[in-house]
Amino acid sequence: MTTRPSPASHRILTESVEMTVADGSRMGGFLARPADPGRFPGVVVAMELFGVSAHVRDVCERLAVDGHVALAPDLYHRDASMVELPHDAAGRERGFELLHRMTRDHAVDDVRAAVGHLRTRGCARVVPPGHRRAIADALGAAAVRHEIVEYPGAGHGFLCDRRDTFDAAAAGDAWRRVRELLAAELVEQGPAHSPDGGPERSR
């Protein structure tokens, strides 16, 4: 069995950022990064249905503690800039309303803008079983090392400890796997970032 050392723990800085998308719109986002000088790999964090919520920001901060520059772009920016919806029926209804206004091109352009913002600085959608198999087959055919994990009994949103669907055991295992993946794959590759601006908040 191969064991990997745990990622180093970093003091972090967080800030609100803005970037220009291909259609000319301005998109905000939440960015967390190590406070230490140096170059760090970048990670785009997909927001949840409820927007760039406290949970999403917490995920970014946890990734930054592990030595990544984590950016959560505001994919609702065209209709409700930096909205943070409550985790209840009303918030879910409003979230789906905003989600259905997005187009595939909008989402692709937004993610590209986020990657561009990270360029030298360093999802979540329910996927049906058939689609998971197709994704796994395509990754295998392309010789891409991958792992698809299912947690029987865990509901959608199991990683968010602010929701009634939170599953501590599944979330703990998933977070461990994410940390190990990023520690193994992003050590000396991918976009990197050298801190160059004043943060809005430190931690």
How would residue 98 be classed by pLDDT, with cut points 50, 70 and 90?
A: very high
Tell me which of 203 and 19 has the higher pLDDT: 19
pLDDT greater than 70 at residue 5: no
Distance (Å, whole) CA 80 – CA 196: 29
pTM of the model: 0.59
How would residue 145 be classed by pLDDT, with cut points 50, 70 and 90?
A: confident
Query: Over the range 16-25, which residues count as b (16 or more CB within 10 Å of their CB) and which as e?
Result: ebebebeeee
pLDDT greater than 50 at residue 180: yes
Distance (Å, whole) CA 166 – CA 161: 5
pLDDT at 1: 34
Report the side by side order of strands in the sheet with 26-34: 192-193, 40-44, 69-73, 26-34, 12-20, 201-202
Q: Look at the chain and count its residues.
A: 203
Nearest alpha carbon to residue 40 among 161, 191, 180, 200: 191
154 in Cβ contact with 170 (< 8 Å) = yes
User: Span 10-21, mean pLDDT?
Assistant: 92
